[in-house]
Each structure stands twice: as structure tokens, then as C-alpha cells.
Amino acid sequence: MSTATLTIDLNAAVANWRALDAKTDCETAAVVKADAYGLGADKLARALARAGARSFFVAVAEEGAALRQALGPGPNICVFSGHMPGDADMIGDLELTPMINSLDQMIRHVEALPGHAFGLQLDTGMNRLGMEPSEWAAVRDVALAQNPVLIMSHLACADEPDHPMNAQQLRTFREMTDGLDVPRSLANTGGVLLGRDYHFDLCRPGIGTYGGAPFAEARHVATLDIPVIQCRDVAPGETVGYGNSYVASRPTRIATISAGYADGILRAMGPKTGLWCDGKRLPIAGRISMDLIGVDVTALGQDPKSLQLLGPNQGVDTLADAAGTIGYEILTSLGARYTRRYLTA
């Protein structure tokens, strides 16, 4: 077997979700969009439901439908994209709760599914999803008469605690919703960490549960071990990989491992990234190929069976920094070819 193994520690994810929950006095939901950030929405959501999560958020109704099959009846499944054309059967039959983003969506929803639960999404400055203050002022009374179950908005800069946008969005959210008798939600992971003013009735962390920044206390969740296919000696002056970008400056032992950019190991991270074995960091040698990566394992003094890209020594944010991106993109890029193993207890 030469596919890499992605090990997902469900206990660590549950511990992270609980640690975030413990920072609030309100309900803590779980955001499991994009297959729980690439880690497996069915497994993660079931583990979090067992730990007490009662509400789950996904990006689109199709994800919600799949999640309902995994979770069964009971938990709330909320859809950020709201009620799109063609969604009514899924929303109705599978008891999904769309977060309505506009008057158009509102009309579509109450016409297709009168009396069916929905939430409202407001735009407090991010200009991405939700009703803006002027639209909200016009629609508000009609919308409230339909008994929304939640009013939510989303923070643009919550991972930067000192950013003035946070307080500005909080102020706008309060102006748009203070005094209404509907549960409210504003905080993602970063928002949970901003403190109680941002928590309202429900928080919606995603990345912190999966071990990523800005939740610095997070336990490590995803580990990626990549098998070594072959090792060889490379003499000074010889090159490794496409474009001859690596030239050996000393007698070097090169291991070729079985994963590449087709598995979400971004080419951009190559020059700054190492793989780990026996507590040693081993630099990537040359360019990352589609299915293969060369690694300088000289420092090991022996040929390894596998090397670790993600693990306790090197988390998603370290990889992200090396590739000039964010941990979210590293996780959601994790390859379909990996063998996924789930650790419990």
C-alpha cells in the first residue's frame, strides 16, 4: 500500500470543541461545512453530537442533506447559503434550516415551505452574505412575523483581536437586532475568543475544533504519514526532481515519498517545508510533483518507512505559513487519495 494515511483524532476535536464551549455561557454549535474542513463531516458531526452539540452549520443544502443521513433526526442543521432555487425538497424533507440571505430567498422559502423553520443572516459589513441594514429595515417586520429561529451575522476580522472592524460589526449587529425576541449568533472561532460581548445566544466555531489558528490552545487533530517508496544516494552536483531546482552540495540520501500536489500538498510550500521522522526535520529536496516528493533524509542515518507532513511537530498553520496561505486551505485541500483513520478513546 502506498497511499498516505490521514489520522483524525476525534477525541482531540471533541476536546477542542468542548474547550471553546467552556469559554461561553451560550449554546455552541459546530460548523462542519466542506466535509468538516476536509476531515470527514459524518464522523466529526457524530462525535460532536455525542459530546452534546445540538446545532450544525453547513455551506449548502446538499451538504445538509448528507449530514442529515449521518446524524438522523433531531439535531438542527443550518445552511449558510439559505434557500436557493431547487432546495425546497431537501430543506423540507430533511428538516434543514436555511439562513435566509435576502428578501428573494425569504419569499421563495415561505411560498414553498410555509411554516418551515428558517433563520436570517444579516450583513454587518463583510459584504458577503445577508441583508444589509437598509434591506433589513424594510423587511424586518414581515420577516419577524414568520418567526425566525435565529438571527446571525459573520465577522470579517475576528482572527485579529485588535482590529477595529470587530467592534464596528458588533455595534452594527446590536443596532440591527437589539430588543428582538429571537436568538442571535455572531461568533466564529475568532469571535468566541473575542469575549462574551460577541457570544449572544449561539457561537459557531469551525477551525478551532479542527486544531487551527486562531485557537492557540487547540489540540492537534490531523496527522499525515506518507510512505517512502524508494531511497537513493545522490552525489554532489546531481539534481533532484523537475526543473533541477535542487542540486546536492554533499553526498545526500534522498527518499521519494508517495504524495504530491494532487493530494493537496501545495507546490508553494516546498522550499520552506520539512517532513518529520524520529524528532528530526528533513527538508524537501526539489519541487513537489503531482504524486511524489523528494526528501533529504541524510540526517536520519537510516532509510525511513514513512515520513510525517502533518503532526504534533508541524501543524496546519506551519504548513500554511510555508505556502503563504491559511490553515483552512491546508485542511480543505487534503487529498481524496489518503486512507482516513479515525481515532476514538
Task: Looking at the chain, list the stretches that DSSP marks H as alpha helix, in order from N- to C-terminal side.
Answer: 10-21, 33-37, 41-50, 61-71, 88-93, 103-112, 133-145, 164-177, 189-194, 316-323, 327-333
Which is closer to ligand PLP, CB of 173 or CB of 261?
173
Which is closer to ligand PLP, CB of 268 or CB of 326?
326
Q: Which residue is nearest to ligand PLP (CB)?
A: 206
> Is residue 128 part of an annotated ligand binding site?
yes
| 287 near ligand PLP, rule: CB under 6 A | no
Size of the site for ligand PLP (CB under 6 A): 12
- Shortest Cβ 90–ligand PLP spacing (Å): 19
At residue 96, φ and ψ (nearest 5 deg) are: -95, 155
| Residue from 188, 252, 273, 314 binding ligand PLP (CB under 6 A) | 188
> Is residue 152 part of an annotated ligand binding site?
no
**CB distance 181 to 192 below 8 Å:** no
* 242: annotated active-site residue: yes
Which is closer to ligand PLP, CB of 6 or CB of 218?
218
CB atoms within 10 A of CB 74: 10
Which is closer to ligand PLP, CB of 49 or CB of 203?
203
The residue from 43, 198, 242, 272 that is catalytic is: 242
| 189 near ligand PLP, rule: CB under 6 A | yes
Question: Which residues within the stretch 71-100 sit at the binding site for ligand PLP (CB under 6 A)?
Answer: 80
Contacts of 125 (CB under 8 A, 6+ apart): 156, 165, 168, 169, 172
| Residue from 64, 82, 125, 206 binding ligand PLP (CB under 6 A) | 206
| Residue from 4, 131, 176, 207 binding ligand PLP (CB under 6 A) | 207
Q: How far is CA 172 from CA 124, 201, 242, 247, 316, in A?
A: 6, 17, 52, 56, 33
The residue from 33, 198, 328, 338 that is catalytic is: 33
* 33: annotated active-site residue: yes
| 205 near ligand PLP, rule: CB under 6 A | yes
At residue 120, φ and ψ (nearest 5 deg) are: -125, 140
d(CA 111, CA 209): 37
| 151 near ligand PLP, rule: CB under 6 A | no
| 258 near ligand PLP, rule: CB under 6 A | no
The angle at the Cα of 124, spanning 122 to 130, to the nearest 5 degrees, equals: 30
Three-state SS sequence of 67-115? HHHHHCCCCEEEECCCCCCCCHHHHHHCCEEEEECCHHHHHHHHHHCCC
Contact range with ligand PLP by CB under 6 A, out of 66-74, 182-190, 249-257, 290-298: 182-190
**Binding site members:** 128, 290
**Binding site members for substrate:** 128, 290
Q: Which residues bind ligand PLP (CB under 6 A)?
A: 31, 33, 80, 154, 188-190, 204-208
